[in-house]
Amino acid sequence: MIESLFRRGPGYVSRVRSNRQGEDLNAAATGASMTGWEFAWLDGLAVESEPSWSYPELARPLLRRSASVLDLDTGGGELLAELAPLPPHTVAVESWARNTPAAAARLSPFGVPVRTELPAGENEFDLVLSRHGRLPAPDIARLLKPGGVLLTQQVGSDDLADLNVALGAPPPHPRRWDAEVAAASLQTAGLRVTEVREEHPPVTFRDITAVVHQLRTVPWQIRDFTPERYERALARLGALIRARGEFTARAHRFLLRAERPLAV
């Protein structure tokens, strides 16, 4: 996802400046290492704006009043670890083999097990968290206790679609995924949606290298992308960036809060 490209923290805009304006770094991006999650060499090439809300700041008060929490698609466990102290019964789920060992190592000091599959039970958690992860509405409804809360921040289907348009590529996602669609799925599963927010914060690329690296890091943005296949389109976009100093695309973020109704 896009957060893999930028160094950032909650509730602020990370601003960086390029000291390599006008330099053709396409070849450097093509050969850049894809191992791990270190992208320091991109400092100075991109600016990402945060949405107006802070997901961690919304999650913390919910954690304080919860005795049990499930974190869906925890990634490397970075965000969940930052939210400590955690409730006594906290479970993280991460199915991607590349992330699972890192998540287990990071969350072990907090006594948090990392599973590769969703728990099989019912009525187990006071709180379910999902930041940029799956949103399996029936499973969330099953796992929440009556009165339990879901907090999720999602990446919408229009995320960075301006890149696709600029490069003459198909849309990034064939199916619409936005706050309305997600809220409807939660309601169908029996949850009550209590908060909906949706924004398109700008993401500014200051060198064609950042564009190429983003597309290689996030292969679902343009599924048939290779620098060779899109060479002419990249050259045109690179010329535009050099002329204007930047290219701005729009991210797509939405936040939902929902509750499982108390049993009557």
The pLDDT value recorded for residue 76 is 96
Is residue 178 situated within a structural domain?
yes
Which string of b and e fits 156-167 if b means at least 16 CB within 10 Å?
bbbbbbbbbebb
The pLDDT value recorded for residue 46 is 84
Q: Which domain range does residue 18 map to? A: 2-49+202-250
The pLDDT value recorded for residue 43 is 65
Is residue 169 situated within a structural domain?
no
The pLDDT value recorded for residue 140 is 99
The pLDDT value recorded for residue 18 is 36
Residues with pLDDT less than 70, the chain: 1-44, 264
Is residue 166 situated within a structural domain?
no
Is residue 167 situated within a structural domain?
no
Residues 185 and 67 in one domain: yes
Residues 129 and 71 in one domain: yes
- With a pLDDT cut of 90, the percent of the chain lying above it is 79
Taking the C-alpha atoms of residue 69 and residue 10, their distance in angstroms, rounded to an integer, is 21
Q: What angle do CA 9, 13, 19 make, to 5 degrees?
A: 105
Which string of b and e fits 47-85 if b means at least 16 CB within 10 Å?
bbbbbebebbebbeebbeebebbbbbbbbbbebbbebee
> What is the number of structural domains in the chain?
2
Which secondary-structure segment (H or E) carries 48?
Answer: strand 46-48
Residues 121 and 232 in one domain: no
Please report which residue ranges of 18-116 form alpha helices under DSSP H: 26-31, 55-64, 78-82, 100-107
Residues 13 and 66 in one domain: no
The pLDDT value recorded for residue 75 is 96
Residues 96 and 128 in one domain: yes
Residues 95 and 186 in one domain: yes
The pLDDT value recorded for residue 263 is 76
pTM of this prediction?
0.84
The pLDDT value recorded for residue 168 is 98
Strand ranges (E), 102-238: 114-115, 125-131, 144-155, 192-199, 202-205
Instruction: For 97, list phi and psi in degrees, rounded to 5.
Output: -60, -30
The pLDDT value recorded for residue 258 is 99
Looking at residue 110, which CATH number applies to its domain? 3.40.50.150
Residues 87 and 147 in one domain: yes
Residues 135 and 240 in one domain: no
- For the record, the structure tokens of 73 come out as 């698609």
Query: Do strands 202-205 and 46-48 pair parallel, antiparallel, or not at all (unpaired)?
Result: antiparallel
